[in-house]
Amino acid sequence: MPQIVVLPHEKLCPEGAVIDAPSGKSVCDVLLDHDIEIEHACEKSCACTTCHVVVREGFDSLNEPEEKEEDLLDRAWGLEATSRLSCQALVGDTDLVVEIPKYTINQVSENH
């Protein structure tokens, strides 16, 4: 079974984590199942960017993003070439290293 290494995040996962992740399950669901409370304001329906993650390793093992996800990602805070919406990124057969960005677009707009 592949693993997801979650890099430390100040609030959600201060120590980081290593999680067994079943192939075919979304990165978001795996994190939530292991008490890493990543935001998912749209209830995982691919309608927001709050579950945005940056995949540091294993990006190519994930399913291809659909156009709707790519369009939404354009609005994500801290967008990088290996960004994905964790609700849409399905675990493949390779270990992943993911980073949860410091902010979501919701938090950025609340602070201004």
Q: Answer whether 38's CB lies under 8 Å from 51's CB.
A: yes
- Number of structural domains (the chain) is 1
What mean pLDDT is reported for the chain?
A: 92
pLDDT for 105 equals 65
Give mean pLDDT, residues 68-92: 96
Quick check: 112 pLDDT over 80?
A: no
Q: Give residue-wise pLDDT tens across range 34-56.
A: 999 999 999 999 999 999 999 99
Give mean pLDDT, residues 79-105: 94
Q: Which of 33, 11, 18 is nearest to 100 (CA)?
A: 11
What CATH number is associated with residue 103? 3.10.20.30
User: Which token pair is 39?
Assistant: 């935001």
Question: Distance between CA 85 and CA 82 in Å, rounded?
Answer: 10
Domain that holds residue 29: 3-110
pLDDT for 109 equals 42
Share of the chain above pLDDT 70, in %: 93
